[in-house]
Amino acid sequence: MSNKKLRRVGVSQELCDRLSRHQIVTCRDFLCLSPLELMKVTGLSYQGVHELLRMVSRACAPQMKTVYGIKTQRSANLLPAFLSTTLSALDEALHGGIACGSLTEITGPPGCGKTQFCMMMSVLATLPPNMGGLEGAVVYIDTESAFSAERLIEIAESRFPRYFNTEEKLLLTSTKVYVYRELTCEKVLQRIESLEEEIISKRVKVVIIDSIASVVRKEFDTQLQGNMKERNKFLAKGASLLKYLAEEFSIPVSCPVV
């Protein structure tokens, strides 16, 4: 993906430092410049810049995979295939829980408990594997200012009283849930685009967006000419980025929708 940091695609640290002084940090920043501009900021020859452009371009391009290769890779993957919801009937219906490596939509009318469910999933993601958790962090993008830290703690204590029997464990879980309030489509998309590095640095195991539908409804009146096209364009780009993150890092990505 074009939002990958240059240091993740094989560019030397020295060159990354030089480029960052010119606000060139991601593959997209790099590929938007002409060879002559890159020669100026890197100090490399035309041939050196050309080879660098090829390397960065290849790192961004989707790799061709065969069906056999995908199946073999998944069979060899030791990461969990599902994050259990701990609700036996729901886990049975989902054949194991919320799937890792894919985008899951949580649907239902307003007030049915979608946000409460997402907060419970946030708690589950922080639990150790022997309790069905992923022992990682969570990125929770809140577009409706509906997230409640107090409610998350209540859910943790009521659902897993034997585990959350000390202040230290509650504190540990609360420090692993990173909440971002993004109230516009533009801000939501910017946040999604920046998640790749955050997933790596913070060991994020679950991404939740609660919810994309709310910002879309506020900003796109489908009765106005051209709005439907822009709305679909935003949703398609957001979904594509989220699916990439889910597959790249084998994590569940959940989006409540109405």
**Residue 137: CB atoms within 10 Å:** 21
Q: What tens digit of pLDDT does each residue of 187-216 get?
A: 999 999 889 889 988 999 999 999 888 888
**Confidence (pLDDT) at 137:** 96
* CA 146 – CA 179 distance, rounded (Å): 11
Whether residues 227 and 114 share a domain: the answer is yes
Answer yes or no: is 67 within a domain. Answer: no
How far apart CA 240 and CA 2 sit, in angstroms, is: 13
Domain final residue pick, 32, 60, 88: 60
Provide the whole-model pTM: 0.79
- Are both 82 and 56 inside the same structural domain? no
Is there a domain that residue 65 lies in?
no
> pLDDT exceeding 70 applies to what percent of the chain?
95
Query: What distance in Å separates the CA atoms of residue 171 and residue 153, rounded to the nearest whole number?
Result: 9
My answer on whether 112 and 18 are in the same domain is no
Q: What pLDDT is attached to residue 64? A: 74
pLDDT, position 140 = 96
* 224 & 103 share domain: yes
- Domain of 44? 6-60
- Quote the pLDDT of residue 192: 92
Do 176 and 118 reside in the same domain of the chain? yes
Residue 258, pLDDT > 90, answer: no
Range 229-237 average pLDDT? 87
pLDDT per residue over 121-174, tens digit each?
A: 999 999 999 888 999 999 999 998 889 999 999 999 999 999 998 899 999 999
Residue range 62-72: mean pLDDT, rounded: 74
CATH of the domain at 175: 3.40.50.300
Q: What is the number of domains present in the chain?
A: 2
Q: What is the DSSP letter of 142?
A: E
State whether 54 and 15 are in the same domain. yes
